[in-house]
Amino acid sequence: MRNVLKVSVAIKWRLAAVMADREIDNQTLHNLTGLHLGTISKLRNKKPSRLDTNTLDILCKALKCEPGDLLRFMPDEHDEQAVNTKHDPNSELKQGKKFTENDLPPHRQHPRSFLIVLPEVPESA
């Protein structure tokens, strides 16, 4: 069995708070990092949907902090219950459900190539 994660986004982006704690404004962070002012403004005002590890590294070095200071995992009570719910991936098989190729995701619905492994190597090889 495995845990099924059915959680809303529980990562909190704290760049604005860390900058405020250190009394650093956008211009100062720009001077320390070389990041464009527009990029800094976007990162400060809105949690990024994606964050390059190089950018995170640059921010941590400039702000003298750890990634965990900028990113916090804060699940709510409902999320914790979902994380602790056990799911048996074979439960549908145990119930006798027959699977067809159409039950697979589209990227898995194509034939696979395969390799035949011979138990012995022929003498002619």
pLDDT digits 0-9 by tens, 72-83: 988 765 555 555
Helix axes 37-45, 26-33, angle to 10 degrees: 120
Does 32 fall in a domain? yes
- Residue 81: the pLDDT is 53
User: Which is more confident, 27 or 2?
Assistant: 27
The amino acid present at 4, given as its one-letter code, is: V
Could you tell me if 7 and 84 are in contact, meaning their C-beta atoms sit under 8 angstroms apart? no
Tokens representing residue 105 in the block: 């995701």
To the question of pTM greater than 0.75 for the whole model, the response is no
- Domain containing residue 47: CATH number: 1.10.260.40
CA 31, CA 75: separation in Å to the nearest integer? Answer: 35
* Structure confidence by residue, pLDDT tens digits, 52-101: 999 999 999 999 999 999 999 887 655 555 555 555 656 655 566 665 65
Does 23 fall in a domain? yes
Does 33 fall in a domain? yes
Does 99 fall in a domain? no
* Structure confidence by residue, pLDDT tens digits, 5-38: 555 668 899 999 999 999 999 999 999 999 999 9
Residue 48, domain extent: 11-74
Does 111 fall in a domain? no
- Residue 60: the pLDDT is 96
User: Which is more confident, 32 or 112?
Assistant: 32
Does 19 fall in a domain? yes
Structural domain count, the chain? 1
The whole-chain average pLDDT of the chain stands at 78
